[in-house]
Amino acid sequence: MHEPFVLFGFQHWMVMALTFAVPLGLAAAAREPGADRRIRIGFVAVLLANWIGWYALFIARGWLGLGNVLQLNLCDWAFFAVLIALIRKSERAFELAYFWALAGTVQGIVTPEVSYSFPEPQFVVFMLGHADIVAAVLYLVFGTGMRPCPASIPRAIGWTFAYLATAGLADWLLDVNYAFLRAKPDHATLFDLMPAWPWYIPEAVALGVFAILLLYLPWYLADRLRQPLAHRA
């Protein structure tokens, strides 16, 4: 039996640090000819291998059920969006991955649903799966120069509501709890700071919209700072 996972313990801090440090290092390496393509293929390979590993683990341990077999968590949609962005360098896929990963998937890294520490397979597949999504998005920003634009905001909000509608329909039809629309998570998360069901739902939606606006703010400010320079030129 492995050691119990310690929230904000050494291993947890290491995962969070590497999630941000690795893509920055890869972004510097991407300046070499042909490196960008190899790095993006590497991210895709790790994402797909971990996705397969997650299913293999859950099948082997008898954990697979209607409440987790479907790709209806927001991180699942971020996973597919970042895959498309890595393979095709699609701006539309990137903008969804950017907002969903940095507003949603990051929370899975900060408050992970794991019971035991490394090298417990559950720890590996959960942490690697979430960290790789966030790291891939950060690499696309700093290594390839991809970024959201003003039109990304309504598109991201619209797709997020489409996701919530899809998850909500599945919850109603299958008696499951995707997107935590029927109950809060049973482990420590930011939901613990919100009111009881169903009142936390509109609050979470409002926070999600606020997070999208906040994540676009650096780009808005950067564009505003460039405008006077462009006028002087």
Rounded to whole angstroms, what are the CA distances from 50 to 46, 74, 121, 209?
Answer: 6, 17, 11, 29
- Work out the angle between the directed axes of helices 152-174 and 200-232 (0-180°, nearest 10): 160
> What is the per-residue pLDDT across 129-147, written as a single tens digit (0 to 9) for each?
999 999 999 999 999 999 9
Domain coordinates in residue numbering, the chain: 10-232
- Angle (CA) 193-195-201 rounded to 5° is 100
> What is the per-residue pLDDT across 161-174, written as a single tens digit (0 to 9) for each?
999 999 999 999 99
Claim: this prediction has a pTM higher than 0.85: yes
> What is the per-residue pLDDT across 54-94, written as a single tens digit (0 to 9) for each?
999 999 999 999 999 999 999 999 999 999 999 999 999 99
- pLDDT of amino acid 50: 97
